[in-house]
Structure 1
Amino acid sequence: MGMIGSCCRVTFMLWLYEWVLFLCIIFLLCFTMLASMGVHKSSYKGEPAETIHLRQFSDWLQLNVVDKEDWNAIRSCLSETLFCEGQKQPGAVKGCCKPPAYCGYELKNGTTWTVPKSGLRSKDHDCVTWSNDPRIMCYDCNSCKAGFLARIKNNWRKLSAFFSCLIAFLVINFVIGCCAFRGSRGVDQYQKHGNSN
């Protein structure tokens, strides 16, 4: 629209292009600011996976990402892709793939965790929820949800940098479009007055 309006001097196309660009900039600014506020209100500062707690993340993140309905979809995706099978890379959401250390489970053969004879050290929700079944594991644990939110927070930094560059690019295009629109209107008015004379 911008190229056609600018090259062919179609003022209406330039006007439409400017409005679409303006709305895109406003939408991206609002989205980036609201999402950043929701993500950055969290007190999580990159602690080790074993020490992350769900309460370290903002209420907005908890309500919009790991609420019951959304988490069921994420959980089924994790279990269907066998997310934890052979997962040893450092970026893994470790809280999903093994029971929390404070529970006191013992590793039996590299993949199976058992309750020691003395019993679990804690009756915490995550300790009771753990299962060796690869479809269940700790996918319903708060430590898994917290690890997932930590990954989202880390990824959001990269995404917000991309959105900032995109907004800057759109603003530059908007300013150039304004100049082209002003020039096109000036030509239209000149031709109108020239023809009337």
Structure 2
Amino acid sequence: MALNKNVIGAINLVALLLSVPIIATGIWLMTQAEISCINLLNWPVIALGIAILMVAIFGIVGGFRKIQLLMVIYFVAMLVLMVLLGALVAFAFSVTSRGSAHHEPNRAYLEYRFDDYSGWLRRRVHGRVRWARVWNCLSSSDACLKLNQTFHNAQDFFNAPLSPVQSGCCKPPTECGYTYVTPTYWISPINMTADKDCLAWSNNDQLCYGCDSCRAGMLASLRQEWRKAGFVLLATLFFLACVYVVGFCVFRRSKTDELFKKYKQGQHSSSYT
């Protein structure tokens, strides 16, 4: 088969290199402290990245060795993987399309509400069993403990840009009217509202881990990181598609040249008979 092995091999090498940012994105998601308690997107991303890497190796071998079967496997498998990656990116943007933060007077940090997020995300942290695992993971981290080491008066705390998890899990919601003592110790108001998050706050190790605001803070962090990852994956998918199209065109051109060469050889042979 008259493949231009240098061109095909180089194109497939680029496809292999493009698997690196996909795998790296999955690993990056895994290392983000605030969403490490919910492993939803990282493993599918890593698996797709590894699959693309393996398929690209097939393409490189098929290109340099001129093995047509491997090239066919490469183009079919890579197309399937690109469709799966595109579907994953679309899904990530779809389930994170909802969600917003709310400002409170005289507060630099933001408040988060559970109902603002998509139903699919809410179901990932809903229910005793699911949330118990997240609760245990959060309580074993230092997300709340380090606030006591950082802020020593109310004004500094109120002016701090807390992370979504710190805002939702480490303090009572601002609307509850609690009085600040330390970042994780608050005096309850005389007239407590009936809001369940206000009643769920505790000055012991429980803090607001059982609050909907904590679930919302977790989803807010997850939403931020997923959308960052989504843009990286979308850009990678675009370049991967470009490499795929160029490689497919070169492959088809090579096959056309081969057929034309065989035709000319046949014509040349028939002229002597």
Is 1:165 aligned to residue 235 of structure 2?
A: yes
Which residue is 2:161 aligned to? 90
Q: CA deviation at 1:129?
A: 1.0
1:47 aligned partner, one-letter code: H
TM-score normalised according to structure 2 size: 0.62
Conserved 8 A contact 1:50-1:100: no
1:27 aligned partner, one-letter code: L
Give the unaligned 5+ runs of structure 1.
none
**Cα deviation 1:2-45 (Å, max 9, x = unaligned):** 222222221111111111210111001111112212211x1x34
Give the unaligned 5+ runs of structure 2.
1-57, 104-108, 151-159
1:104-143 equivalent positions in 2, closer than 5 A: 104-109=177-182, 111-116=184-189, 118-120=190-192, 122-134=193-205, 136-143=206-213
Which residue is 2:248 aligned to? 178
Is 1:29 aligned to residue 86 of structure 2?
A: yes
Aligned length: 191
Change (3 A) 1:109 1:150: closer
Q: CA deviation at 1:188?
A: 5.3
1:108 aligned partner, one-letter code: V
User: Alignment identity in percent?
Assistant: 29
Which residue is 2:117 aligned to? 57
Conserved 8 A contact 2:172-2:201: yes
Change (3 A) 1:59 1:160: same
2:142 is paired with a residue of what secondary structure?
Answer: coil
User: Alignment partner for residue 126 of structure 2, among 39, 46, 67?
Assistant: 67
Q: CA deviation at 1:151?
A: 1.7
RMSD over equivalenced CA pairs, Å: 2.5
